Structure 1
Amino acid sequence: MKNYSIYNLKIILFILYVCIGSSCSSQKDTAISRSMQNLTARYNYIYNSKVLLNNHQLELTENYADNYDQILPVYLGPEVSNMEVNQGLNLKPMDDIIKKAQLIILEKSFSNYTDDAYILLGKASFFNGNYFNAAEYFDYITKTYKNNQNTYLEALNWKARSLMQLRRITEANQVLDTLDSILPKVKVKRQLPGPLSTIAQMCIYLNNDTAAISYLKDALRAGGKDQNKIRWTYILAQLYERQQNYKDAAVNYRKVQRSNAPFEMYFNATLNQIKLKTLQNNNKIDKHDQVLALLKDDKNLDYNDQIYFQIAEGHAADQEFQEALKYYLLSVQKSNKNQHQKGLSYLRIADLNFKHFKDDILAKSYYDSTVNTLPKNYPGYDLILKKSINLKYLTDRYELITLQDTLQSIARLPEELRKTKIQMLANPVIITQVQSSNNLLNPNSQPGYSANKLPPQNSFYFSNTTTISIGFSDFKRKWGNRKLENNWRQSVRTSAQETTQQITNVTNAGPINPDSTSLTSNKESLIAEYTAAIPLNSALMAASNQKIIDAYYEIASFYLQELDDTAEAANVYKTLLIRFPQNNHLASIYYSLYLISKPNDPAESLNFKNRILKDFPSSIYAKTILDPTFSVKQSEAENEANNQYNDIFSQYEKKDFISVIRQANKALSSGNPNILSPQLAYLKAIAIGRTNNADSLLTALNNIIENFPDDKLTTPLVKEHITYVMAHLSEFQKRKIALVDFDPNEPPFSDPAKQAVVISAVVKPKQPIVVLEKITTQLPNNTSPKPAETPKAQEPDKVIPAIITDGTFNNAVSATYYFVVHVSDAALTLSSSRFGIGQFNRGNYIGSNLKHQLKEFDNDQLIYVGNFSNFEDVKSYAAGITPQLKQIMKVPVNIYSSFIISKENFDKLISGELLTKYIEFYQKNY
């Protein structure tokens, strides 16, 4: 009986085991199968996945460094985290979550957790940075589980976040509109904080602070995690402060102070409380004392840079710029960990030097430091980068002015003294390490600062050889052998940094320990170079003056047109007029000053207007004053001329030469010549050569030289043609038609006997020259002559610059370069423009075998000219052709630009996006 019972029990257990195994391993829609799938899906997969996800979010919170200078992100995620944070996170758990979710979908399809699995798939993709996949998952959920309110609400929320990260703001707004419409129907309050915070974040993106405040307050009332509440309260305070609602801002900062907020948030809330209290009470002295008091607390040691920055901001707001500069520099010195804060301090110093101290060279140095310190996602980063690049344009011209002034001052000296000065130039003065190392970070070195007296020699650090030795050993152990220069911590530099370092090296008069042997070997060549550059006769002096005039004019025009700084532009224009009352830019200068002074000084504006009408009555400026629509009419006329030329050129391509002659005659006899008239005459001459004898051809070509002697594009080419025809006149006179059949895109005249010539126009680098005597010139207010620099001693070994790359392109030396004209319209026909480039090449680089070809993208076209064997050659070519592009390019001037590119970089241009990326790289590094 006992054995029978045991036998039956074994059979029952076996049957139960088979049933359980069958229900677990198959996709049967039975009650037992669904129950087992629910059980295993919930506890084996969903629960574990949520734990992994929560741990990952906690890790993200711990690794993310908030930037308290801006409105904090409402929630932390990849849309607000930077690359450094992402690289520091362990993303393997997200892959594990994806595998678990996929197992639920594939093997637990009859469970109640497939919607949760898809939610997990979307969130894991989101935190992995696969935002497109995340958006697609959440989109699928919103369509499949629309009747499940909880799932639908969460999917809409995360779909909006994914679209926001993809910068598809319009689509994200549509999703959030749907989300906002169903929130009143949600009865469980704990489901509301997430969606409300997402909508608040979108409002912040759109600068709708009032709506953001409303949604954040609703999210706080609905509940949420404690840390989220603290964070949202701080953001509320920031938004109120931006709205200048200081009372409510202070209330919310106080709530953060009284909470268990992280110390950094607590510190910033305290700092902002002091600032708001001062704004409300208008007590500047008390504010600075309270902020300085924070320095005494050891807990604030890592935040001293922010304390000094806050003090500097207060002084800047009160227009106490010298004091502000002092504390900004202290902030830089104390920024050991917070690179973002250091970047902000650099930016403020750069702005002070640029706007208030009018020191463009020093401003450029600090803008370069800003660009290399702040993250690229900083608001306005592109504008800062543009300003940094643009300032190189200004500093180059100020240096040119200083150079020419110095040469002229030497030229005016007696010959004996002149030789002495040149000898001094060849032997630069060496300054001490102490002076140069503190040049940029010492506030006493700034403009307008009176240097504080140094402590007595016996207490001064650098007077104690023992402490210097110890300090040097410690430095060398930590950093190794480093050259004394700005940004010495960096091993790879941008070209902007290299330029800044060269300026500083020049100012500091060369290396600290120059090799006397190398100096001696270079001395004679330096003396010869300086001697040759001195303008000793009237012609050379006039050329030197013209360089100064052009530099001043370009600086003023740049301030006016690029930087929109009318006051500084006016100062530079007036400086130019004081130094050179008679120059070749007078009409343009008078017109610019007429426009600048028109709003604020009508009398001065009238004066410049009268000068233009009296001295330059036929200029375009006088015509514009008399007829304000003149410039519009002129632009229309230029477009009409381009269209007319393109029509005639199309007939030329079809070899309808009779029509070319007829239409060209009509255009040239209209009595309204334009910049394209010489080229129309050239088309007519070639058409005559294709239909008449050599005498008619020579007559047409000679007419071009007679009618357009100063044209730099067509006339040189025509002279080459005449020379060739005259050399082979007997052969041409035997023909009934002067020009035999030819390719319209190739030169109709060629000489196989001519050897190809190599384009060579190597530009010698400029040698900076020190101003040995102060040039006394009366300047208008807020304008002062720029100091010149001492020459840097030549190094015995050639320094190879570091290769700069942005990940795709680089500035490495190449064996082949191209000059490129970029046209941002793929629909235009560029045949006539390419023909113009061919004219320039044949007229100015005969026998060089230069070719121009076309490369097309979806929305852009490139005409590229090559091949050039080195950068200096293509740079020289660019300098020659760029001023004539307006004549060459038969398209609107606002849709084309030019640049230089190596073959290696050119081969990477496979799309318009990469083209845009290269143009940015070129502007920054060349």
Structure 2
Amino acid sequence: MNARYNGYFYANQYLNEVNEQIEDSYQYNYDQILKIYPDIDSSTIQSNKAKLDDAFKKASQVIEWYGTSDWTDDNYLIIGKIRHLRAQFQFAIETLQYINQTSEDDPTRHASLIALMQTYMDAGDKEKAKEVSNYLETEELTDENMADYKVMLAYYYQREEDYETMAENLKEVAEVITKKDTKSRINFILGQIEQEKGQNAEAYKYYKASLAGTPPYDLTFHAKLNMQQVSSVNGAAEVEKVRKFYAQLLKDGKNKEYQGKIYYEMGEFEKKQTHYDLAIDNYLQAVAVEEPSPRQKSLSYLRIGQLYFDIYEKFELASNYYDSAVSIMPDDIDGYPSHVKRKEVLTDFVTQLKTIQVNDSLLSLAELPAISLDAFVDNYLNQQEKEAKEREREEARNATSTGAVISPSSGSGFSSNAPSSEWYFYNDAAVELGTIEFQRRWGNRKLEDNWRRSTKEASSTTESSTEENITDDATDQPEEAGLADEGRAAKKKELLATIPTTAEAKEKLHLEIQEAYFKLGSVYRFGLEKTAKAATTYKTLVQKYPNTEYKLDALFALYTLYLESDPSQAQTYKQQIIDAFPESLIAKTLINPNYLAEKEARNKALQKVYASAYSAYENGEYVKADQILRGALQSFEDVDFLPTVELLSAILKGKTESVFSYEEALKAFVAKYPEGRLTNYAKDLLIAVNPVKETIVRSEDFEYSEDFKQLHLLAIVYNSEVTKTAGLRAAIENFNKDTFSHLKLSVGQLAFDESKKLGIIFINSFEDKKTVEAYHRAFKKALADFTIEVDSNFNNFAISRDNFQMLFQSKELEAYLKFHNTFYQ
């Protein structure tokens, strides 16, 4: 008796009081499926420290003093639950496991296992929680423990977001749970799950069941609201009945803190009836109540944004409301990532649209004569000032009003005090929002004198007096008027400065418009999924700017957009791509769908050839490497690996020809490929060329090298004004092909002496002096058949690689010819 009534009873009572306080202080989110158990708030646990300490002490004393009592395991259970509340999960787990291992009382042991499931879940170990559940499935539980277990199992599946299995477990025990508040909440949860499944009749049954007894008022309130949502409404009479129901809720003083929720539900109801304007008006009322909750406010803004997006397709307005919604939206709201994504898409949409609108306006204004432009800006400023004064009058009249509609957070379209860098000449969003706010505040009134007065027969002296006072205040202050004039002049100057006056400034705006059109098309297509508007946008871009840098991508977008819906139209855009951009990857792929696969095969084949050439290069077999690459360059084209091959070919010229042809080859490579890793390497090689050129031996006698075992070339010097380079080179290449194809010779050219208009063509490479001499003899005989014009400057001779570099540096042709005649046959 002492163990039960002096220790356990009071410890259990303290523990229940703390659990009740956790329950009472927790704010359930009725916009989502309610949690079965409230989250444990550490501040609540801390504020009840003394009570938990006392409960822990009493339970511990029972264990210490009455260790043989049948109530020892029950007190261990209290200690385990207290440790769980304090987030001492490991200690709680050990305590609850101890009960399971030592207790001979099955109900207490089962209760400890149910508590152990929750502890494992709150500790983040769902696998262990499932293991405990599997064990409990094999045990025979009392009705009370079975009810607690099924609720705990439902809690497990709720955390797994498996609401179907969660509902199955709750339905099994909904009728046997004895605690009224818990029973009401479980029925409410079942109603929410059935409502999400679209089972409105079942949902209504569970919502009604949740009202049994005396549940907390917030649950009662939301259950009644949800019952309206799942009720079928047929005919105007039932619609009015529902509206009266909401009106009664608004009048009830107990519902003051729920007014935002009521207006929101009214909006949901009107939306369900497809009364979209009324829905928007109610959502606006929901955010205009005194101190609306951020969650409710964000949902109201979200619904307005969704209506403007899905129903009206007014994306600028939708962007304003999505921006407002996401800025205050808790991240646990269903679909939060998708709402953020759509907000980003709409922001991008508005950005591109504003760029087009503003730049088009500025370019149009730039075409006006100076006088007309000055007058336009004056009229614009007059309108701004007029609107500002009207706002001041409205603020004075409504200084005590608390029912003003709260505008979305985006300033666009809600104020004429827009930054000077943004001109809203054609702001549909502003017009639409202004209309909504006007109708909400004033009703549907005709445009006429004294439109503010509900009764026209008598004028309000108060209003007249107010207007007179405001007018007097505004006009009877010359110093302030002077300051206003200065501010207007500065504003005018600032606005005029935004208008482009130079060709460069106008071109910049045009380029921004082109980019914005292309991005807008992408937003329409991929972000908003409006393919027709995307196609129109791409067409507008190509029509307005036929030479835009985005033309290829825009045409391809149009081709893919029409591929399924209008194949003939798609074929038209395909042909435009092929005609205008024949060398583009897109065109080549359109012509040959297997193009990329075939190109990859060519890449692999070229890489094998390159590997063979590089191996020869590393072994010092430069002529062999050069011949391999020369054949590859003639055989392969349109291959991604080609630049690598071309760079090695250029490097080989330094080994087989001369430093000068090597330098020219590197320059040609950099010109052909202005950017990239290989280009940077080629530039480094070019920097290293100059020191090498300076080391070439020069003397007054120009003593040429007599090392005739090195590589040789055959050189032809000619007057480029007499002998045409192309004709001479073509004749040489044809001669090589017909007579010496086995040598795989290459032909190069350089400017030899620009002051004398002399050029030099060289054939390479020959292994030694004997081989080049044989070639030279055949070449001189063939010259007679060349259909080229020559003069006294035309000379041809064999020359070693080193001597070629010396000759090219000195330009002393006569000296080398003497050397040649001495040593070469």
Q: TM-score, normalised by structure 2?
A: 0.63
Pairing of 1:689-708 with structure 2 (within 5 A): 698-699=663-664, 701-708=666-673
Counterpart amino acid of residue 268 in structure 2:
E
The equivalent residue for 1:395 is 350
The whole-number CA distance in structure 2 between the counterparts of 1:300 and 1:522 is 52
The whole-number CA distance in structure 2 between the counterparts of 1:628 and 1:323 is 54
The equivalent residue for 2:23 is 61
Residues 459 and 438 of structure 1, relative CA distance in 2, 3 Å threshold: farther
Shift of 1:145: 4.8
SS in 2 for 1:65: coil
Shift of 1:529: 3.9
The equivalent residue for 1:572 is 537
The equivalent residue for 2:780 is none
Shift of 1:378: 2.1
The equivalent residue for 1:340 is 295
Pairing of 1:789-868 with structure 2 (within 5 A): none
The whole-number CA distance in structure 2 between the counterparts of 1:177 and 1:671 is 68
SS in 1 for 2:264: helix
Counterpart amino acid of residue 310 in structure 1:
E
Larger mean CA deviation between 428-437 and 340-349 belongs to: 428-437
Residues 540 and 157 of structure 1, relative CA distance in 2, 3 Å threshold: same
8 Å CA contact 2:377, 2:492 repeated in 1: no
Shift of 1:99: 5.8
The whole-number CA distance in structure 2 between the counterparts of 1:230 and 1:265 is 8
The whole-number CA distance in structure 2 between the counterparts of 1:319 and 1:667 is 74
Pairing of 1:358-507 with structure 2 (within 5 A): 358-421=313-376, 429-430=384-385, 431-432=387-388, 433=391, 440=407, 445-446=432-433, 449=436, 451=439, 452-453=444-445, 455-456=452-453
The whole-number CA distance in structure 1 between the counterparts of 2:652 and 2:382 is 64
8 Å CA contact 2:8, 2:59 repeated in 1: no
Which protein shows a greater Rg? 2
**1:72 has 2:34 as partner:** yes
The equivalent residue for 1:262 is 216
Q: CA offsets per residue over residues 411-460 of structure 1, 9 Å max, x none? A: 22123333555677899934434679868269985287575445229669
The whole-number CA distance in structure 1 between the counterparts of 2:621 and 2:86 is 66
Shift of 1:549: 1.6
8 Å CA contact 1:160, 1:173 repeated in 2: yes
The whole-number CA distance in structure 2 between the counterparts of 1:459 and 1:176 is 75
The whole-number CA distance in structure 1 between the counterparts of 2:655 and 2:126 is 60
8 Å CA contact 1:623, 1:630 repeated in 2: yes
The whole-number CA distance in structure 1 between the counterparts of 2:163 and 2:301 is 29
The equivalent residue for 2:146 is 192
Residues 117 and 227 of structure 1, relative CA distance in 2, 3 Å threshold: same
Q: CA offsets per residue over residues 308-334 of structure 1, 9 Å max, x none? A: 212212332344332221111111112
Shift of 1:588: 2.8
Residues 556 and 190 of structure 1, relative CA distance in 2, 3 Å threshold: same
**1:253 has 2:207 as partner:** yes
SS in 1 for 2:184: helix
Between Structure 1 and Structure 2, which shows a larger proportion of helix residues?
A: 2
8 Å CA contact 2:284, 2:405 repeated in 1: no
The whole-number CA distance in structure 1 between the counterparts of 2:106 and 2:598 is 64
The equivalent residue for 2:730 is none
The whole-number CA distance in structure 1 between the counterparts of 2:92 and 2:694 is 75
SS in 2 for 1:238: helix
Shift of 1:74: 1.8
The whole-number CA distance in structure 2 between the counterparts of 1:147 and 1:637 is 76
The equivalent residue for 1:26 is none
Larger mean CA deviation between 370-379 and 599-608 belongs to: 599-608
Shift of 1:725: 4.4
SS in 2 for 1:176: helix
8 Å CA contact 2:588, 2:595 repeated in 1: yes
Shift of 1:548: 0.9
8 Å CA contact 1:305, 1:331 repeated in 2: yes
SS in 2 for 1:221: coil
8 Å CA contact 2:73, 2:99 repeated in 1: no
Residues 518 and 444 of structure 1, relative CA distance in 2, 3 Å threshold: closer
Q: TM-score, normalised by structure 1?
A: 0.57
Q: How many percent of aligned residue pairs carry the same amino acid?
A: 22
Shift of 1:292: 3.3
Aligned Cα root-mean-square deviation (Å)? 5.2
Pairing of 1:6-405 with structure 2 (within 5 A): 39=2, 46-78=8-40, 90=47, 92=49, 96=53, 100=57, 110=67, 115-116=73-74, 119-129=77-87, 133=90, 136-137=93-94, 140-141=97-98, 144-145=101-102, 149-165=106-122, 168-169=125-126, 171-182=128-139, 185-186=140-141, 188-279=142-233, 283-334=238-289, 336-405=291-360
Residues 525 and 115 of structure 1, relative CA distance in 2, 3 Å threshold: farther
8 Å CA contact 1:657, 1:691 repeated in 2: no
Residues 226 and 331 of structure 1, relative CA distance in 2, 3 Å threshold: same
Residues 167 and 699 of structure 1, relative CA distance in 2, 3 Å threshold: farther
**1:592 has 2:565 as partner:** no
Could you say which structure has the greater relative contact order, defined with CA pairs below 8 angstroms and 6 or more residues apart? 1
Residues 604 and 72 of structure 1, relative CA distance in 2, 3 Å threshold: farther
Counterpart amino acid of residue 572 in structure 1:
T
The whole-number CA distance in structure 2 between the counterparts of 1:553 and 1:592 is 10
The whole-number CA distance in structure 1 between the counterparts of 2:187 and 2:283 is 29
8 Å CA contact 2:659, 2:693 repeated in 1: no
Counterpart amino acid of residue 553 in structure 1:
F
The whole-number CA distance in structure 1 between the counterparts of 2:119 and 2:652 is 63
8 Å CA contact 1:122, 1:133 repeated in 2: no
SS in 2 for 1:375: coil
The whole-number CA distance in structure 1 between the counterparts of 2:598 and 2:483 is 61
8 Å CA contact 1:123, 1:134 repeated in 2: no
Shift of 1:620: 4.0
SS in 2 for 1:446: helix
Residues 278 and 153 of structure 1, relative CA distance in 2, 3 Å threshold: same
The equivalent residue for 1:758 is none
Shift of 1:104: 6.1
Shift of 1:77: 2.9
Residues 403 and 390 of structure 1, relative CA distance in 2, 3 Å threshold: same
SS in 2 for 1:222: coil
8 Å CA contact 2:187, 2:209 repeated in 1: yes
8 Å CA contact 1:163, 1:172 repeated in 2: yes
Q: CA offsets per residue over residues 16-36 of structure 1, 9 Å max, x none? A: xxxxxxxxxxxxxxxxxxxxx
8 Å CA contact 1:74, 1:232 repeated in 2: yes
